[in-house]
Chains A and B, each alone.
Chain A
């Protein structure tokens, strides 16, 4: 019976992830006074795209085709080490978050190369910006995780989040609050949301992620969209387990609470997206450096405590 739990947790993450973009869109529609797309729109899109025939550029090589597959698989593998509701994942080991960090790096590398493979100026632009922001986002994320490791004295993701309890919030509230803020900023930037990027402007020179995948179509695009949903889930799950570490004692209760928190993060993203404007492109590094400052401050607080 126990073996079922990590498996069903993993399956739940895989199945529910495409719900998050739908929720964000509903929240944005609510703020805009529109009815908006159905919350399940991404599921329909994925189904539709998987049945289409892709179009490939004459310029592109196998790198272009391998990009989406590698990208989504890196995230599916990353989910293997992601704890669920403070419960251990399949693969929980010392330093597993390094593995996760570099899997995200692999996904990015594959996407960037696939974009450059089309030989287009637009996609090259997106790729260039993507790697630029990663240089600022990765240290922020890393130092944040380091601070969290120090909070619980743990060195695996499952251990770090498993050690969090409401008691931790009482003892180390400033640290956790700073980390939540930092991770949320990293979430926004890594998942190409406002204010770092705008997922809605497909035809502007200022966008990042969307422009990299302009030339993908059919099942390849489905993989990309699904991978993006998984990435959003990954960050939302980390934030959710941090802000709501309540333990009801039962697995079902914990899981339900955790899922609610994840959906709550998606709502928060939607709210941010509705009330904030995009930053100018050159200002995005400063936003990420702010996140880094939050993380570093959290680490300093924690070391000094």
Chain B
């Protein structure tokens, strides 16, 4: 629709926004009842594609992913209407809006399709639409690079998934999921590994994450919110569906998932700490959170393989709850980062500072999102991690391997939590607090209502779904049931009700105590006006903005400690005279995996590919000959 209205100024953006909001409301009104009642809905249309059928099923598991999808796309569209105004006249608004709505539709297909062909169609559409959005600022070299990496990752993932579907559907009469029969033994493991790699490339866990920290920051901020909040979860969703299908699970699948989750959640948090750009910090934090989800899945699979079903149900529920919660707070955070980009024109931490004074509401909302991302109670990030923790601790009292899995999961969560807290304290403290480090930060302004409104709504949802977590038990039980089997869904509700009620009570107690202490503080002041002076700082006469602790200095003790992993590059001045007048220091966080694993591998691949360059010489006739020969070959094979 936005494309048709291209000629009129303002019309494409308006059409895009209205369409997205309407779709989001319609989608929510379909998904919420399913999630609340647990009754799946299915529709089917005639479709003439070979092996394909246009059948969609909306069950509670799909609904659990769809509710954040529609929340974020609806709110994101409103936010985007404000955000993209800054590009008016410079950019054609039709393309991003069309791609945004196409992305929404594609993700809807991915979450509901029950036919492999249809699913892959949705998958590829999703990749294409988001590719266009990553290239939104294609005049920047960084964005072009991000787009290219993203395209390569998406293509590789899709190829793996095609192989997986071919394996699963080899003997089946159609490509409908219902007609597949679960393979056994080696074929099952092969399918699992293909799914893990194929979906993993979308979910972005380490080591398949290289595209994520490039692509998410490059897209416009409301798209980053949707990509980080929902799109990477399509990988998690696919993995869960495949896991549920390929039963019974061998124990080593669980260990593999657990190991990958462990590496991702620790690595993601650690790399987040070393980044210098706000949106890159958030992108790495997404890797951390996908790691947490994977960790929970792995713990659940190990537990289930060892017969500890109650424990498995807790871990699975923790994974799903974290999927939901992460979408809310990461959406909020990316929108907050977008507000910073909008206001100060840069997301470089070292160029920001003091934004809390210039955009107080956005700063407070970003703080709420950060606290949720650090899993601090009473916000919603805590609820999902809490479940995984309980699962881990139950596991400790179980015998043998389950206890080890539990200890590993709990330890990884605790460490990643501390690292994430450091990363977010740094990002928030350096960007929003203190004094502005540059003119641009000093001249920042608060965003308009279109951008602030969606952030408010998400922040309220973050607080609400943290405090009222017990209310989510029912829907979550349906989703766990739909995903892993009704047995788990039923178990989990029983297991977690009591601790959840207590956590909720604790959250309310905390808020009550804070209110009391704040009132008491006011009473202590007794109406006296606090004195205002410069920062005391042990008596500095003229503190300046440049004397503040910056992003690199804040992270330095930790990044130095983990230098072998981070391979940070620091450039120090060489002092050659007795009274050096000028000095400079810069440090740069490397994309370690990209530089030291993928680039050499890609170079090797390119060398290999060059050997076949004689096949490709640009003569059209010969290409047509290739096609004809292939078609004839296929025909002969079919005969």
Main secondary structure of the interface of B (DSSP, over half): helix
Stretch at the interface among B154-162, B210-218, B390-398, B625-633: B390-398
Q: Interface 1/0s, chain B 429-450, versus A by CB < 8 A?
A: 1100111000000000000000
CB of B22 within 8 Å of the partner chain: no
Contact of A121 with B415 in the complex, beta carbons under 8 Å:
no
Asked if B434 and A116 make an inter-chain contact with CB atoms under 8 angstroms apart, the answer reads yes
In the complex the two chains form, what is the Cα distance from A51 to B353 in whole Å? 33
Query: When chains A and B are docked, how far (Å) is the Cα of A94 from the Cα of B497?
Result: 10
Q: Mark A92-117, 1 if CB is under 8 A from B, else 0.
A: 01111011011101101100110011
Indicate whether B187 reaches chain A with its CB closer than 8 angstroms: no
Interface code B496-515, partner A: CB below 8 Å = 1, 0 otherwise? 00110011011001100110
**Chain A residues in 8 Å Cβ range of B419:** 135
- Report yes or no: A142 in contact with B549, Cβ–Cβ below 8 A: no
Question: B518 on the interface (CB 8 Å rule)?
Answer: yes
A101–B518 alpha-carbon span in the complex (Å): 23
- On whether the beta carbons of A50 and B538 are closer than 8 Å, the reply is no
Nearest CB of chain A from residue B541's CB, rounded to whole Å: 13
Chain B, residues 352-365, CB within 8 Å of chain A (1/0): the string is 01101100100110
Query: Does the CB pair A220–B521 fall under 8 Å?
Result: yes
For residue B555, CB closer than 8 A to chain A, the reply is yes
Q: Contact: B553 with A124, CB < 8 Å?
A: yes
CB < 8 Å: which of B356, B403, B510, B545 contacts A303? B403
Q: In the docked arrangement, what's the CA distance between A72 and B521, Å?
A: 12
Of A56, A74, A124, the residue contacting B510 (CB under 8 A) is A74
- Judge whether A149 is part of the interface by a CB distance below 8 angstroms: yes
- Chain B interface size, as a band, is 35 or more
Interface pair B518/A69, CB less than 8 Å apart: yes
Residues on the B chain within 8 Å of A143, using CB: 407, 410-411, 414
A103 touches B510 (CB 8 A): yes
Please report which residues of chain A, range 120-142, place their CB below 8 angstroms from some CB of chain B when the two chains form the complex.
Answer: 120-125, 127-129, 131-132, 134-135, 137-139, 142
Cβ proximity bits A267-280 to B, threshold 8 Å, 1 near / 0 not = 00000000000000
Cα–Cα distance between A187 and B552 once the two chains are bound (Å): 29
CB of A219 within 8 A of chain B? yes
Given A93-B499, A219-B521, A223-B521, are A214 and B537 also a contact pair (CB < 8 Å)? yes
Name B residues whose Cβ lies closer than 8 Å to a Cβ of A: 353-354, 356-357, 360, 363-364, 367, 371, 374-377, 382, 386, 389-390, 393-394, 396-397, 403-404, 407, 410-411, 414-415, 417-419, 421-422, 424-426, 428-430, 433-435, 498-499, 502-503, 505-506, 509-510, 513-514, 517-518, 521, 524-525, 528-538, 540, 543, 545, 547-549, 553-558, 561
Given contacts A63-B433, A113-B425, A138-B418, 14 further A-B contacts (CB under 8 A): A93-B503, A99-B503, A116-B434, A119-B433, A119-B543, A119-B545, A122-B537, A124-B548, A125-B549, A125-B553, A131-B418, A131-B421, A139-B414, A146-B393
Can you list 30 A-B pairs with a CB-CB distance of less than 8 A? A50-B524, A51-B524, A53-B525, A58-B532, A58-B535, A69-B517, A72-B517, A81-B506, A93-B498, A93-B503, A94-B498, A96-B502, A98-B389, A102-B377, A105-B375, A109-B376, A113-B367, A116-B433, A117-B429, A119-B433, A121-B548, A127-B554, A146-B407, A146-B411, A155-B393, A214-B538, A219-B521, A219-B525, A220-B521, A222-B524
Closest 7 CB pairs of A and B: A124-B549, A116-B429, A119-B434, A93-B502, A131-B422, A120-B537, A142-B414
